[in-house]
Structure formats: structure tokens, C-alpha cells
Amino acid sequence: MKSPSLSYFVLAATVVAHSSCGPLSPLKSHLEFAHSPADRLLGTPIGHLEIIRAGISHNFGDRLKICVESEKKTISNASLLLETKLAYVMWLKAAGYGAADFSKFDFFLASKCQRDDLSNMASIVLANSANEVIGDDFNTLFAPAAMSCQVQPGSISCGTTNGMTLGWGAAASLSHSYLVSNPTQWSNVSRHAVGFATLSQFVDWTALPAGIDANPLLAGSAGTELKTKYSHLLALENQSFEQLVAFAESLKLAKAVSGEDPVFQKLFHASAQAGDEISDVKFRPQYAAFHVLLHEIGHTFGMMHADNPNADSITGSSATTTLNPQTHQFSTLISSMAYADQYVYLTDDDVLGISSAAEAARAEALLHR
């Protein structure tokens, strides 16, 4: 996921934002919803659930372990664990799963989540130090933010130079063995790569209430009520599926969107007041993590970018989608998986997409039992 080139215009006072993340693979396109093809969905949480449900022999047990890396500088362990669970519950509920399915997940804090520990289905890592080693592959993906501003008569436009990658996410990978007499029937499934949602070490990540505070549209009683409910959940030793679903529904009812980076805004206003152009000024953004976490965990569930699908993404129409005549794929900006508003709830398009993914994963598992 990338931060946008954000532009502020003095006369129009508008903000334009985009985000992106995840690998692209130029394969054949289809016409359904914005998620991975069925054969890659079995590595997702819903795919693991369907393998267990179908009775296919597997080496990962019936407990689905999620390692959440702890001791971060700008977000508490309790908030990080709560928000990870909340994101999982949102995607599971939207896919049609319930409390019994959620009970199969074990979320635990660890000082270091090892990407090669195949006993875990996924690792959730929010890095807070520019010097923190989180793996060679991720160190090359993430880079510090830099800001540039251009002054024109009556306006000033500022943006992050060349964008900034905020996060990266992918599902676990599975391999299988099969009967020579019947290749369709799998005799065993093994996990050979752990899924992950990793957020950049060049950002100060904060808890969801900070994102609510940063959004002027949530000022007053609406934002206060959401923060009160969040505090209540945070105080619980263990949040139930039903309690997390109720809070998720409150976020959707409020149409909650996380606010913009206050560090960027402060730099912009200083530049606007001075009327100075600046170029490639390094800064450390501050984002409420949950929007990016929801998006990257969406990738672990097999969801793809809703506004710019991979060539092999399964896409489909809804009330808000448009059809690209060149790729014959549908796309939308009204999604937590799009590079647009920082949704902290699942939109109707998100629900349609993950529901389609769950149906495809279920059919794929049943095909191979």
C-alpha cells in the first residue's frame, strides 16, 4: 500500500489521496469479483477453514495461529492485538463465517514474529524504527517519506515524492500431494509459506482513536461514541466475536474514515504560510494503523486492489463499479481495498468481493476432498 501524492489547493481546499500495495502478476482475467483466483484462495484464512471443514488431511492442525509483533513505540500491545482481531472479524463476518469459526483462531503477541515459522498461518508486523530489521525483502520495499511543494498564483500543491509504500500483505502458500489414480483428490495439504501483513518502519503508527480525532467529519458526538466503544473493548481481557462485530457495525453506520496525516498537514501549512516551494524534504508520517491493517489483512484473505485489479483478479459488477473496456474488468473506489478514502469499515463492494471469494474457496476445497 502506498501513500499518495497528496495535493492541497489554497483556493479549492481539496485533498486527493491514493494508495497501493502488493505484487502484480499479468495472468488471464475473469469476470467476477476483486479477489484472487480460486486455486490461490486455499492459502487464505477462509481457505484454511474450508480445508478443515472439508476434512482434507493437512499438517497445520485445526488451530489457526496469528502472530502479532509486540512492543511498538507508538501503539500499545493491547490496541495492536484488538485491531488485528477486529480486522479479521470484519473479513470473516462479511464472508459468512461466525463465532465458531473465529474461535479456531489464536491471536498471540510475540517480540518477534518469524516469517519462517510454519506453525503460524500469518504474522502481523508494524515496524516503528527506521533501523529495525524486518527482513531483507521488506527493507527494500519501504523507504522514508519525502515532501515537495509547488507554488502557483493563488494555490500551493504539495505531495509525497513518488509516493510511499505503507504496507504489504499476502496470503499463506500451500502445497499438496495427491493420489496418482485420482490427481483431483488431495491426500495431504502442507503450509510452505506464512501469510503476512507488514506495515512500514518509516511511519509512526497509532491506534484507531487517533484516526477518528484526525477526521473533522467525526468531530462531536459521533466520534466520541466510537472512541468510547473502542475504550470499552480495549479494557476487556478478551473480546468476543459478537462484541467485535457490534463495533464493526458502529464504524460502518458512522461511515468512519480515518483522518489525514497530521505531520504532512503541518508541513503543508508551514509551506503555504511562507509561500515557499520545497523539494524532497524528508519527514516521518503519522497514521492511524487500522485502515492500512484492514487493507493488508484483506490481502491475506485473497482480496485484490478494487480500483486497479491484477490482470488475474476475479472482478464483478455492483452499483458502484465501472467496466474497463480494455481489461474487461470491473473496478471501484468505494472499497477498503481501493487506493482512495481511508475506510475503517468494509463497504458493500468489500462484502460482495469477500463473499464471492468464500464461495470460490469452499468449492475449491470440496473439489479436492
287-306: per-residue pLDDT in tens? 999 999 999 999 999 988 76
pLDDT confidence band for 21 (50 / 70 / 90) = low
Q: Are 209 and 78 in contact (CB under 8 A)?
A: no
State the Cα–Cα distance between residues 228 and 231, nearest whole angstrom: 5
- Identify the residue with better confidence: 185 or 278: 185
Query: What one-letter code names the amino acid at 59?
Result: N
pLDDT per residue as tens digits for the range 331-358: 666 688 877 778 999 988 889 889 999 9
pLDDT, one tens digit per residue, over 81-119 is: 999 999 999 999 999 999 999 999 999 999 999 889 999
What local confidence, expressed as pLDDT, does residue 127 receive?
Answer: 75
**Average pLDDT of the segment spanning 166-173:** 93
Would the pLDDT of 185 be above 60?
yes
Which band of pLDDT confidence, cut at 50, 70 and 90, is reported for residue 128? Answer: low
Specify the long-range contacts of residues 326-332, CB closer than 8 Å, at least 24 apart: 327/29, 328/29, 328/31, 329/29, 329/31, 330/31, 330/34, 331/34, 331/306, 331/307, 332/34, 332/306, 332/307
Give the end-to-end CA distance of the chain in Å, rounded to a whole number. Answer: 36
pTM: 0.86
Q: Which candidate, 327, 320, 301, places its Cα nearest to that of 95?
A: 301
Strand partners, 352: none
Residues across the chain = 369
Name the percent of the chain lying above pLDDT 70: 79
| Mean pLDDT value across the chain | 83
Q: What distance in Å separates the CA atoms of residue 225 and residue 175, rounded to the nearest whole number? A: 46
pLDDT digits (tens, 9 = 90+) for 34-46: 678 888 899 999 9
CA distances in angstroms from 272 to 12, 214, 263, 269, listed in the order given: 14, 20, 14, 5
Tens digit of each residue's pLDDT (9 = 90 or more) over 46-69 = 999 999 999 999 999 889 999 999
SS3 of the chain: the string is CEECCCEECCCCCCEECCCCCCCCCCCCCCCCCCECCHHHHCCCHHHHHHHHHHCCCECCCCCEEEEEECCCCCCCHHHHHHHHHHHHHHHHHHCCCCHHHHCCEEEEEECCCCCCCCCCCEEEEECCCCCCCCCHHHHHHCCCEEEEEEEECCEEEEEECCCEECEEEECCEEEEEEECCEEEEEEEEEEEECEEEEECCCCEEECHHHHHHCCHHHCCHHHHHHHHHHHHHHHCCCCCHHHHHHHHHHHHHCCCECCCCHHHHHHHHHHHHHCCCEEEEEECCEEECHHHHHHHHHHHCCECCCCCCCCCCECCCCCCCEEECCCCEEECCCCCCCCCCCECCCCHHHHHHHHHHHHHHHHHHHHCC
Tell me how far apart the alpha carbons of residues 130 and 124 are, in angstroms, rounded to a whole number: 18
User: Which residue, among 272, 303, 255, 233, has the nearest Cα to 1 in the 3D structure?
Assistant: 303
What is the model's pLDDT at position 5?
A: 39
Q: Which amino acid is at 363?
A: A
Helices 77-94 and 348-367 cross at an angle (nearest 10°) of: 70
Asked whether the predicted pLDDT for residue 208 surpasses 90, the reply is yes
Beta bridge partner(s), residue 174: 191
- Domain locations along the chain: 2-11+25-367
